[in-house]
Structure 1
Amino acid sequence: MDLNKKYEEIRPYRDHEIKEVVATLLKDDSFHHVFEKLFPNKQEREMFLDIFASIETVIDFQYKIIRPLVDRVADMSTDGVQFLGKENFDYKKCHVFISNHRDIVLDPAFLNVGAIKQDIRATEIAIGSNLLIYDWITHLVKMNRSFVVKRDIPVKQMLAASENLSGYIRSNITERDQSVWIAQKEGRTKNGIDRTQVALLKMLNISNNHSSTRQGFIDLDIVPMSLSYEIEPCGGLKVLELLRKKYEPDYKKQPGEDLQSMGTGIIAPKGRVVFQFSEPINPTLLATEEVKNKNKQLKVVADILDQAIISNYKLWPFNFIAFDRVNNTDRFSNEYTSEDIEKFDKLTEESLSIIDFKQDEALQLWLEMYANPVQSKIEFNCL
């Protein structure tokens, strides 16, 4: 069966569809409004729109539009983006990359632009349907190799959606020779605790036609990846969301909040950024056969991923400052300077200024968000 038709509802656009999508976007007033925000200078905007109008393939789009835009964001809002560990895996082969998740847009954007620069295969990107709130967003992300993970659907439809998604990801690896990126859990981490959801692994395993859990995951050739931002993307907004969920019983995140997070994540300072690739988990999957229960086998896989992601997570002075404050200790005082403390205090004040209630609790959540990666390293014996 034609894989494009089988996965029609969730797959990215293919090359033969790009010209029509470009024409549609160029007629969309909302799309033009976004470009006006990105490029206030009219001459620069018109130049970029001319380039956009010439796009005919996915690679065209990634090289001519996405790469320069992401480079621009990195130059304006980071102190450098590093990619480490390329030597740990066969980057000429396709893999399922599973990582922690900090920023809606930039985690996969930095990954794919970094991959292009390092001659690593570009990945297709998992994106939640809850983020596709406007047609122009849907068109742009599907031009940029994104496939859709259906969210907020009736329980009766969930199994079929999971089967379809699992089959799509596996077919990318085993039939299309196409790498995939997906986060280790639904949504961004808001408390700094990075743990792999067993539900994600259950979804991936649905399409496993082998008699063993181990062989099914071997086929996917999973490479864990650790993403670390010196400054938490949207840190203040994450704390605000946690407080609202706790104190507002009827609170339900509105589409505009995700759009705000997407915009803030792009323009806000992020400090230094590190993407660290681990070795593929295939050699360690033998541990799954030491247990017979399938759910316990999946928990073993989750533990393997967590160990790799947490071990290779880059800690910064702000993490150590927050840990010492949360725990009322000076255990890591040699990891930061008085200048680091001054910068962290200024960042804290600015980031929490958007929160007009429960200030003490907001500060505690903020500190824990930065401290928890240190605590995770301690728990996993890698610090």
Structure 2
Amino acid sequence: MITIDDIRPYYDSEVNDALLKFMEHPMVLAMLQFTFPNKNMEEIMAIAESCHSIRDFQSKIIYNSIRMVLEKSSEGFSTDGFEKLEKGESYLFISNHRDIILDTSLLNVALYEHDLVMTASAIGDNLVKKPFLMALSRLNRSFIIKRDLSPREMLKSSKLVSSYISNSLQKEKRSIWIAQREGRTKNGDDQTQQGVLKMLALANDEDQVMDYFKKLKIVPISISYEYDPTDVLKMPELMAKHKEIEYIKSNNEDFNSILKGITGRKRHIHISAGKVFSAELDEIKNSGEPNNKQFQMLADTIDAEIYKNYKLWPSNYLAYDLLNNTTKFSEFYSDKEKRQFKRRIKRRVQIGDKIELENFLRMYAHPVTNHLKYKVSAS
């Protein structure tokens, strides 16, 4: 029987003991030494000992860790839309999903720097099988999504998660981050899954489900990386899908993706916070469509907001032009950027493999394709 204790983050009263318990784990030590390169172990230990709540841990350690990651592996992190959100208010952030750890961590950096309520964040239990990763996730206010359950157990687990999310948002005034789909988008085509929305609605206490979603205050989040450091790691799965064969993850694949995502070069990163859905939900409710159709309408509305606010980089425009053999977007990249992107392709794609090249380019080109679709539908 799955209970709330199986999925929740640590309580504040548990934080200090949990942190000190895992302090000596080699990976946790490496993270702390990376975060505080100018401090000795005694000083680092003092910082850890001073953490008596999740907010302490996030503000004193994780915030500095992510800022150091940005300094070492990016050329800039920018945001927009957060100034429109209200301080002290909780929101349900539904986000496209590219990086296992950084997506939600960067969102919390943006929220912290705008003095907004930080999130509790959903994470699959398949990603935190190692005890120290589970501990770090719970210290960072992650709640666990159980995978590989029987249909009956999956429904029970989903109801528990839905109730936890509803309670966090409405009673505890704690914001929530959840990806728009199960797992990361590997091919760059960000699409919200109805299943995620239906899980959220399991705790519905309104006659009309869209009235319930209005209470949760949905804010779509668009996150874009100029270069995806895990792009090459996503290729085997993309190729397996292209060949219509089953893809089986290798041992430590997710852990390697976490490390590569953190340490790999990303160039520029941008996060946009969309508008809080209200009138959009009324329009869906008043459509008279059955619930299933309404869920799809909501998914499409979230997608449109993500596409509209997605920051397109030279890498995206380049991939689109190379994939479609055009110069349509040549004004958005320089010759130097084109040479750099072509060098990236050579290092990641087998020479002469046309199908592999197309899949790699599509990964970066899809956001442009989706943005064009949005512009057409909005006009």
Q: TM-score range by the shorter chain?
A: over 0.9
Among 305, 309, 314, the alignment partner of 2:306 is 309
Among 115, 137, 142, the alignment partner of 1:119 is 115
- 2:7 aligns to what SS in structure 1? coil
Distance 2:307 2:162 in 1: 25
Q: Which moved more, 1:89-98 or 1:170-179?
A: 89-98
Residue 342 of structure 2 is aligned to residue 348 of structure 1? no
Q: Point out where structure 2 has 5 or more consecutive residues left out of the alignment.
A: none
Among 66, 79, 86, the alignment partner of 1:90 is 86
Relative to 1, partners in 2 of residues 1:125 and 1:283: Cα closer, same or farther, differing over 3 Å?
Answer: same
Distance 2:125 2:147 in 1: 6
Residue 280 of structure 2 is aligned to residue 284 of structure 1? yes
**Which position in structure 2 is the counterpart of 1:294?**
291
Deviation at 1:223, TM superposition (A): 0.7
Which residue identity is paired with 1:325?
Answer: L
**Which position in structure 2 is the counterpart of 1:361?**
355
**Which position in structure 2 is the counterpart of 1:259?**
255
**Which position in structure 1 is the counterpart of 2:235?**
239
Distance 2:5 2:302 in 1: 30
Distance 1:37 1:278 in 2: 36
Relative to 1, partners in 2 of residues 1:357 and 1:157: Cα closer, same or farther, differing over 3 Å?
Answer: farther
Deviation at 1:45, TM superposition (A): 5.3
Residue 324 of structure 2 is aligned to residue 330 of structure 1? no
Residue 15 of structure 2 is aligned to residue 21 of structure 1? no
- 1:205 aligns to what SS in structure 2? helix
Is residue 131–residue 255 contact of structure 1 (8 Å, CA) maintained in 2?
no
Relative to 1, partners in 2 of residues 1:42 and 1:274: Cα closer, same or farther, differing over 3 Å?
Answer: closer
Distance 2:83 2:37 in 1: 42
Deviation at 1:6, TM superposition (A): 6.2
Deviation at 1:261, TM superposition (A): 0.3
Which residue identity is paired with 2:12?
Answer: D
Deviation at 1:250, TM superposition (A): 5.4
Among 48, 60, 63, the alignment partner of 2:59 is 63
Deviation at 1:7, TM superposition (A): 2.0
- 1:116 aligns to what SS in structure 2? helix
Q: Which moved more, 1:264-273 or 1:151-160?
A: 151-160
Residue 175 of structure 2 is aligned to residue 145 of structure 1? no
Deviation at 1:54, TM superposition (A): 3.4
**Which position in structure 2 is the counterpart of 1:208?**
204
Which residue identity is paired with 2:208?
Answer: S
Relative to 1, partners in 2 of residues 1:112 and 1:321: Cα closer, same or farther, differing over 3 Å?
Answer: same
Residue 177 of structure 2 is aligned to residue 181 of structure 1? yes
Which residue identity is paired with 2:366?
Answer: N
Relative to 1, partners in 2 of residues 1:30 and 1:77: Cα closer, same or farther, differing over 3 Å?
Answer: closer
Relative to 1, partners in 2 of residues 1:293 and 1:269: Cα closer, same or farther, differing over 3 Å?
Answer: same
Q: Which moved more, 1:343-352 or 1:145-154?
A: 343-352
Q: Point out where structure 1 has 5 or more consecutive residues left out of the alignment.
A: none
Relative to 1, partners in 2 of residues 1:185 and 1:250: Cα closer, same or farther, differing over 3 Å?
Answer: closer
Distance 1:296 1:114 in 2: 34
Is residue 314–residue 333 contact of structure 2 (8 Å, CA) maintained in 1?
yes
**Which position in structure 1 is the counterpart of 2:271?**
275
Deviation at 1:26, TM superposition (A): 3.0
Q: Which moved more, 1:146-155 or 1:258-267?
A: 146-155
**Which position in structure 2 is the counterpart of 1:162?**
158
Distance 1:42 1:67 in 2: 16
Distance 1:45 1:361 in 2: 50
Deviation at 1:46, TM superposition (A): 5.5
The normalised TM-score by structure 1 is 0.91
Relative to 1, partners in 2 of residues 1:274 and 1:31: Cα closer, same or farther, differing over 3 Å?
Answer: closer
Which residue identity is paired with 1:171?
Answer: N
Is residue 36–residue 44 contact of structure 2 (8 Å, CA) maintained in 1?
no
Relative to 1, partners in 2 of residues 1:10 and 1:321: Cα closer, same or farther, differing over 3 Å?
Answer: same
Is residue 121–residue 141 contact of structure 2 (8 Å, CA) maintained in 1?
yes
Q: Deviations over 1:253-295 (max 9, x none)?
A: 1350000000000011111111111111122111222133110
The normalised TM-score by structure 2 is 0.92
Relative to 1, partners in 2 of residues 1:25 and 1:294: Cα closer, same or farther, differing over 3 Å?
Answer: same
Among 371, 377, 380, the alignment partner of 2:374 is 380
**Which position in structure 2 is the counterpart of 1:370?**
364
**Which position in structure 2 is the counterpart of 1:101?**
97
Is residue 10–residue 149 contact of structure 1 (8 Å, CA) maintained in 2?
yes
Distance 1:76 1:279 in 2: 32
Q: RMSD of aligned C-alpha atoms?
A: 2.3
- 1:138 aligns to what SS in structure 2? helix
Distance 1:124 1:237 in 2: 27
Deviation at 1:28, TM superposition (A): 4.2
Q: Which moved more, 1:210-219 or 1:45-54?
A: 45-54
Relative to 1, partners in 2 of residues 1:26 and 1:324: Cα closer, same or farther, differing over 3 Å?
Answer: closer
Relative to 1, partners in 2 of residues 1:83 and 1:45: Cα closer, same or farther, differing over 3 Å?
Answer: farther
Q: Deviations over 1:140-187 (max 9, x none)?
A: 110111111111222221110111111110111111111001111111
Deviation at 1:50, TM superposition (A): 4.0
**Which position in structure 2 is the counterpart of 1:217?**
213
Q: Percent identity?
A: 34
Distance 2:351 2:26 in 1: 38
Distance 2:27 2:90 in 1: 36
- 2:71 aligns to what SS in structure 1? helix
